Amino acid sequence: MALEDRERWNQKYLAGWKSSLHKTLLDFYRFAPLGRALEVACGTGENAVFLAKAGFVVDAVDISDIAIQKAKELARKEGVYVNFICADLDHFVPEENAYELVVNFYYLNRSLIPKLKRALKQEGLIIFETYNEKHTLVKKDFNPEYLLKEGELLQLFRDFEVLHYSESFNISTFVGKKLR
Ligand SMILES: C[S@@+](CC[C@H](N)C(=O)[O-])C[C@H]1O[C@@H](n2cnc3c(N)ncnc32)[C@H](O)[C@@H]1O
Protein backbone atom coordinates (compact mmCIF):
# COMPACT_ATOMS: atom_id res chain seq x y z
CA MET A 1 0.00 0.00 0.00
CA ALA A 2 2.71 2.47 1.05
CA LEU A 3 4.71 1.74 -2.08
CA GLU A 4 1.60 2.47 -4.14
CA ASP A 5 1.15 5.73 -2.20
CA ARG A 6 4.76 6.73 -2.90
CA GLU A 7 4.40 5.93 -6.59
CA ARG A 8 1.06 7.75 -6.88
CA TRP A 9 2.34 10.88 -5.12
CA ASN A 10 5.65 10.83 -6.96
CA GLN A 11 3.73 10.87 -10.25
CA LYS A 12 1.71 13.89 -9.07
CA TYR A 13 4.77 15.79 -7.93
CA LEU A 14 6.63 14.96 -11.15
CA ALA A 15 3.64 16.36 -13.05
CA GLY A 16 4.10 19.65 -11.17
CA TRP A 17 1.61 19.30 -8.28
CA LYS A 18 2.70 21.40 -5.32
CA SER A 19 1.61 21.50 -1.72
CA SER A 20 0.86 24.89 -0.25
CA LEU A 21 1.41 27.25 2.64
CA HIS A 22 -1.85 27.22 4.59
CA LYS A 23 -3.56 30.29 6.03
CA THR A 24 -4.46 28.29 9.14
CA LEU A 25 -0.75 27.89 9.88
CA LEU A 26 -0.18 31.63 9.50
CA ASP A 27 -3.16 32.34 11.78
CA PHE A 28 -2.21 29.97 14.60
CA TYR A 29 1.49 29.03 14.70
CA ARG A 30 2.17 31.87 17.18
CA PHE A 31 0.09 30.04 19.79
CA ALA A 32 2.91 27.49 20.04
CA PRO A 33 5.95 28.23 22.18
CA LEU A 34 8.99 28.62 19.93
CA GLY A 35 10.98 25.38 19.84
CA ARG A 36 10.75 22.17 17.82
CA ALA A 37 8.06 21.60 15.19
CA LEU A 38 7.01 18.46 13.32
CA GLU A 39 5.10 18.53 10.05
CA VAL A 40 3.62 15.28 8.77
CA ALA A 41 2.83 14.78 5.06
CA CYS A 42 4.85 17.92 4.33
CA GLY A 43 4.78 17.60 0.53
CA THR A 44 7.06 20.15 -1.14
CA GLY A 45 7.83 21.80 2.20
CA GLU A 46 6.13 25.22 2.12
CA ASN A 47 4.78 25.01 5.69
CA ALA A 48 7.96 23.46 7.12
CA VAL A 49 10.13 26.13 5.49
CA PHE A 50 7.83 28.86 6.78
CA LEU A 51 8.21 27.50 10.33
CA ALA A 52 11.99 27.27 10.01
CA LYS A 53 12.04 30.91 8.87
CA ALA A 54 9.91 31.78 11.90
CA GLY A 55 12.58 30.27 14.17
CA PHE A 56 11.36 26.71 14.79
CA VAL A 57 13.69 23.72 14.55
CA VAL A 58 11.71 21.63 12.10
CA ASP A 59 11.38 17.93 11.26
CA ALA A 60 9.13 17.22 8.27
CA VAL A 61 8.04 13.84 6.93
CA ASP A 62 6.61 12.67 3.62
CA ILE A 63 6.54 9.38 1.73
CA SER A 64 7.32 10.94 -1.66
CA ASP A 65 11.04 11.17 -2.36
CA ILE A 66 10.27 13.55 -5.23
CA ALA A 67 8.41 15.91 -2.87
CA ILE A 68 11.23 15.69 -0.31
CA GLN A 69 13.79 16.51 -2.99
CA LYS A 70 11.75 19.59 -3.99
CA ALA A 71 11.27 20.54 -0.33
CA LYS A 72 15.03 20.43 0.25
CA GLU A 73 15.55 22.69 -2.77
CA LEU A 74 12.99 25.15 -1.39
CA ALA A 75 14.71 25.23 2.02
CA ARG A 76 18.09 25.79 0.36
CA LYS A 77 16.64 28.60 -1.78
CA GLU A 78 15.09 30.22 1.31
CA GLY A 79 18.31 29.86 3.30
CA VAL A 80 16.97 27.66 6.12
CA TYR A 81 17.56 24.13 7.33
CA VAL A 82 14.70 21.65 7.75
CA ASN A 83 15.27 18.02 8.67
CA PHE A 84 13.24 16.49 5.82
CA ILE A 85 12.59 12.77 6.31
CA CYS A 86 11.34 10.46 3.57
CA ALA A 87 9.26 7.89 5.46
CA ASP A 88 5.95 6.04 5.50
CA LEU A 89 3.72 7.54 8.19
CA ASP A 90 2.00 4.16 8.58
CA HIS A 91 5.17 3.07 10.37
CA PHE A 92 7.03 6.25 11.34
CA VAL A 93 7.23 6.82 15.09
CA PRO A 94 7.98 10.43 16.04
CA GLU A 95 10.11 11.18 19.09
CA GLU A 96 7.91 11.38 22.19
CA ASN A 97 7.43 14.51 24.27
CA ALA A 98 9.68 16.39 21.87
CA TYR A 99 7.71 19.05 19.97
CA GLU A 100 6.18 22.42 20.78
CA LEU A 101 4.18 22.28 17.53
CA VAL A 102 2.79 19.48 15.35
CA VAL A 103 1.24 20.28 11.98
CA ASN A 104 -0.93 18.01 9.83
CA PHE A 105 -2.42 19.44 6.63
CA TYR A 106 -4.58 17.51 4.17
CA TYR A 107 -3.54 14.05 5.27
CA LEU A 108 -5.67 11.71 7.34
CA ASN A 109 -4.13 8.68 8.99
CA ARG A 110 -6.18 7.95 12.08
CA SER A 111 -3.65 5.48 13.49
CA LEU A 112 -1.01 8.24 13.46
CA ILE A 113 -2.98 10.55 15.76
CA PRO A 114 -2.04 8.91 19.10
CA LYS A 115 1.61 9.12 18.01
CA LEU A 116 1.24 12.81 17.18
CA LYS A 117 -0.26 13.40 20.61
CA ARG A 118 2.65 11.60 22.27
CA ALA A 119 5.14 13.58 20.16
CA LEU A 120 3.86 16.85 21.63
CA LYS A 121 5.21 18.30 24.84
CA GLN A 122 2.70 19.35 27.46
CA GLU A 123 1.17 22.72 26.39
CA GLY A 124 2.32 21.94 22.83
CA LEU A 125 0.07 22.94 19.93
CA ILE A 126 -1.47 20.82 17.21
CA ILE A 127 -2.77 22.33 13.98
CA PHE A 128 -4.81 19.76 12.06
CA GLU A 129 -6.74 20.49 8.89
CA THR A 130 -8.11 18.24 6.20
CA TYR A 131 -11.16 17.42 4.13
CA ASN A 132 -14.39 16.12 5.62
CA GLU A 133 -17.15 13.99 4.10
CA LYS A 134 -18.68 16.95 2.24
CA HIS A 135 -15.63 16.77 -0.02
CA THR A 136 -17.36 14.01 -2.02
CA LEU A 137 -19.76 16.72 -3.24
CA VAL A 138 -16.75 18.37 -4.91
CA LYS A 139 -14.74 15.27 -5.78
CA LYS A 140 -16.96 12.24 -6.21
CA ASP A 141 -14.14 9.68 -6.54
CA PHE A 142 -12.30 10.73 -3.34
CA ASN A 143 -11.70 7.72 -1.06
CA PRO A 144 -14.15 8.24 1.86
CA GLU A 145 -11.73 6.47 4.22
CA TYR A 146 -9.57 9.61 4.09
CA LEU A 147 -12.41 12.00 4.94
CA LEU A 148 -13.33 13.22 8.41
CA LYS A 149 -16.81 12.72 9.78
CA GLU A 150 -18.78 15.60 11.28
CA GLY A 151 -17.18 16.59 14.60
CA GLU A 152 -14.54 13.87 14.31
CA LEU A 153 -11.50 16.06 15.09
CA LEU A 154 -13.18 17.27 18.29
CA GLN A 155 -13.68 13.65 19.25
CA LEU A 156 -10.14 12.56 18.30
CA PHE A 157 -8.66 15.45 20.31
CA ARG A 158 -11.15 15.40 23.17
CA ASP A 159 -8.25 15.31 25.65
CA PHE A 160 -6.92 18.65 24.27
CA GLU A 161 -7.83 22.24 25.06
CA VAL A 162 -9.66 23.57 21.99
CA LEU A 163 -8.31 26.89 20.69
CA HIS A 164 -10.17 26.74 17.40
CA TYR A 165 -12.54 24.36 15.64
CA SER A 166 -14.36 24.87 12.38
CA GLU A 167 -16.08 22.92 9.65
CA SER A 168 -16.10 25.24 6.69
CA PHE A 169 -18.03 23.36 4.01
CA ASN A 170 -15.62 20.52 3.03
CA ILE A 171 -12.71 21.45 5.33
CA SER A 172 -12.38 20.68 9.05
CA THR A 173 -9.82 22.49 11.18
CA PHE A 174 -8.73 21.82 14.73
CA VAL A 175 -6.20 23.82 16.72
CA GLY A 176 -5.59 22.71 20.27
CA LYS A 177 -3.21 22.42 23.15
CA LYS A 178 -2.04 19.23 24.84
CA LEU A 179 -3.14 19.29 28.44
CA ARG A 180 -1.29 16.32 29.92
C1 LIG B 1 -2.79 16.15 -0.19
S2 LIG B 1 -1.05 16.10 0.04
C3 LIG B 1 -0.84 17.33 1.32
C4 LIG B 1 0.48 18.00 1.26
C5 LIG B 1 0.63 19.17 2.24
N6 LIG B 1 0.48 18.74 3.61
C7 LIG B 1 -0.39 20.25 1.94
O8 LIG B 1 -1.35 20.40 2.70
O9 LIG B 1 -0.27 20.97 0.95
C10 LIG B 1 -0.82 14.58 0.92
C11 LIG B 1 0.64 14.27 1.20
O12 LIG B 1 0.71 13.08 1.98
C13 LIG B 1 1.82 12.31 1.55
N14 LIG B 1 1.56 10.91 1.93
C15 LIG B 1 0.58 10.09 1.46
N16 LIG B 1 0.66 8.88 2.06
C17 LIG B 1 1.71 8.94 2.92
C18 LIG B 1 2.31 8.01 3.83
N19 LIG B 1 1.84 6.77 3.97
N20 LIG B 1 3.37 8.42 4.56
C21 LIG B 1 3.89 9.68 4.43
N22 LIG B 1 3.35 10.60 3.58
C23 LIG B 1 2.28 10.24 2.85
C24 LIG B 1 1.87 12.54 0.05
O25 LIG B 1 3.14 12.25 -0.51
C26 LIG B 1 1.50 14.02 -0.03
O27 LIG B 1 2.65 14.82 0.00
If you write DSSP's letter for every residue of the chain in order, what string do you get? -HHHHHHHHHHHHHTT------HHHHHHGGGSPSSEEEEES-TTSHHHHHHHHTT-EEEEEES-HHHHHHHHHHHHHHT---EEEE--TTT--PPTT-EEEEEEES---GGGHHHHHHHEEEEEEEEEEEEBGGGGGT-TTS-GGGSBPTTHHHHHTTTEEEEEEEEETTEEEEEEEE--
What is the C-alpha to C-alpha distance for residues 24 and 106, in angstroms, rounded to an integer?
Answer: 12
CB 107 near ligand 1, within 6 Å: yes
Please give the tally of structural domains in the chain.
1
Task: Kindly indicate the confidence band of residue 1, based on its pLDDT and cuts at 50, 70 and 90.
Answer: low
Instruction: Read off the CATH number of the domain in which 162 is found.
Output: 3.40.50.150
Q: What pLDDT is stored for residue 70 in this prediction?
A: 98
pLDDT in tens, 11-34: 999 999 999 999 999 999 999 999
Which residue among 62, 70, 110 has the greatest number of ligand 1 atoms within 8 angstroms of its CB, and so is best to mutate?
Answer: 62
| pTM (predicted TM-score) | 0.98
Ligand 1 near 2 CB (within 6 A):
yes
* Average pLDDT of the residues in 64-87: 98
- pLDDT interval class at 3 (50, 70, 90): confident
Q: Which domain holds residue 170?
A: 2-178
